[in-house]
Amino acid sequence: MMFEQKRLHPIAILFNLIVIIKNTLFIIIAAFLGISVSYFFLIGILGFILFIIVFSFLSWYRFIYWIENDELRIEYGIFVRKKRMISKNRIQSIDLTANPIHRLLGLVKVQVETAGSNEGAEASLSAVHLTEAEQLKSILKEQSLSSDIAEEVEQQNQVQEKISPQRLFMAGTTSSSIGVLLAIVAFGFSKVEQFLPEHLYENTVALIISFSLSMIIVLAFLFFFILWLIGIAGTMLKYWNFTIVKQGKELLIQRGLLETKQLTIPLNRIQAIEIEQSLIRQPLGYVSLHVVVAGSDVKEGFPVVFPFMRMVEVESFLQRFLPDYTGMLVPLKPLPKRALKFYIFRALIPMIILSILIWYFLPNFLWVIILLSMLGIGIGYLRYKDSGYRIQGKKVTWCKRLIGKTIVLVYHRRIQAFEEKQFKVQAWQKLATARLSIIGSLGAGTHYTLKDLEEADVEEIGDWYSYREN
């Protein structure tokens, strides 16, 4: 099947322009704030706008792609002509993404990943007609579009699962995105002072301080309620119509309302499975499932293979989509009781620092110190209680907690390194720390650490990893 030389859709010029503006936005804002507006300044701005428009057009014009001799070939570059050739045999996955502009024009973004991708996608085509993208994908994946029989057999062998809108809403209400939003708001609030007139900023702060305590509580409640609603909306937009299909040796995932994504995850690139359970979802018995994929895009994190399901449904899900990982959700070997004091001590350290700051700057709020102490003890106890491991033949189940709980299922052959560590204090208590490392995002290591295990247990894990005899 032929695929002749093509250029991206002309809307790629706009995408190039947006990328340049996004990368230089901070410099542009700083220039407006730091340099007085003058005739020469306006000429400079107009010149800069003209330059990035011409640059975006030339970047689009010089970018061509085609398939030749079983290779995806790309040529690009304005001043330096660059050529990239990607063999079909090296391609691990081809993902299609469509934002609202793409969907309006019937386009998609094509991202090609190989086993050696170390900076996100090996190749990215920002605007391609959907039919051409499907044709490109079929040729590169060596699928025959005309083979109706093969297609029918594949469809019969497909396993599919789709999330319902009700479950997706529950996922939004129990997501931890409100914490992320709070961090974004806090960062924006810390920077807004630089961009607002001083008198406006001071008057606003003075107005808030003048409110009564009851008014501040009401405003705080409204603030968190709005963030909660935004978190629900964000989750629903991101995972709308989430569908996972197992087809041959690949998992195909489609999701998104405003921006639709079609992800391909080869089963042989999965390094481990993570079952995540936040503090809100744990009492309700719900989890989200992720897979650690070698070379996955770090910006997206580990791919979600199902965003929200009951814990009791995980085994059934694994049997249908990832049967190699079944039978691993078993009771774990717990930590010794003498490890509890170390977990509580570590959790109390940040609380002690916060308490000192409150005692110094806000002496009228000393009661908060008691709450922080109780919170630290509670987090430390949960970390101790939920940590553990279990070895079963060539598989190990690993459980740890920072705030949320994470259960890791990993095969022996996927573990790249094992590390044992023991501090003096741990040696006195006959405890030690174990760390397993696997390949994670962008080829970098992903590490799973369990602190304060029995010395004998750490030896057992080390022997299992190195196949030594006990």
Proportion of the chain above pLDDT 70, given as a percent: 81
What pLDDT score does 312 carry? 94
Average pLDDT over residues 18-42: 72
Q: What is the pLDDT of residues 156-190, one digit of tens each?
A: 567 899 999 999 999 888 877 666 666 676 666 66
What pLDDT score does 317 carry? 95
The lowest-confidence range among 178-187, 191-200, 358-367 is 191-200
- Reported for 70-76, long-range contacts at CB under 8 A and 24+ positions apart, including other chains, are 72/112, 72/123, 72/136, 72/140, 74/123
Straight-line distance from the first to the last Cα atom of the chain, in angstroms, rounded to the nearest whole number? 57
What count of other Cβ atoms lies within 10 Å of the Cβ of residue 36? Answer: 6
pLDDT reading at 50 higher than 70: yes
What pLDDT score does 326 carry? 93
Q: What is the mean pLDDT of the chain?
A: 84
Bin 142: left if φ > 0, else alpha if -120 < ψ < 50, else beta.
left
What pLDDT score does 153 carry? 54
Q: What is the pLDDT of residues 255-279, one digit of tens each?
A: 998 888 888 888 988 999 999 998 8
Does residue 444 or residue 363 have the better pLDDT? 363
Does residue 101 or residue 300 have the better pLDDT? 101
Does residue 379 or residue 147 have the better pLDDT? 379
**Does residue 235 contact residue 171 with C-beta atoms inside 8 Å?**
yes
pLDDT reading at 30 higher than 90: no
What pLDDT score does 272 carry? 94
Does residue 389 or residue 226 have the better pLDDT? 389
What pLDDT score does 289 carry? 95
Average pLDDT over residues 396-400: 95
DSSP letter at 324 equals G
pLDDT reading at 470 higher than 50: no
pLDDT reading at 390 higher than 70: yes
pLDDT reading at 349 higher than 80: yes
pLDDT reading at 408 higher than 90: yes
What pLDDT score does 25 carry? 74
- Beta bridge partner(s), residue 389: 333, 398
What pLDDT score does 43 carry? 81
The lowest-confidence range among 109-118, 193-202, 377-386, 412-421 is 193-202
And the tokens for 311?
A: 């814990």
**Does residue 10 contact residue 63 with C-beta atoms inside 8 Å?**
no
Proportion of the chain above pLDDT 90, given as a percent: 40
| Residue 101: half-sphere exposure toward Cβ, Cα within 13 Å | 12
Average pLDDT over residues 370-390: 93
Q: What does the chain come to in residues?
A: 470
Q: What is the pLDDT of residues 93-138, one digit of tens each?
A: 888 888 888 888 989 999 888 765 555 567 889 999 999 988 888 8
What pLDDT score does 269 carry? 86
What pLDDT score does 288 carry? 94
Rounded to 10 deg, the angle between the 11-34 and 177-195 helix axes is 50
The lowest-confidence range among 114-123, 207-216, 331-340 is 114-123
Average pLDDT over residues 318-338: 94
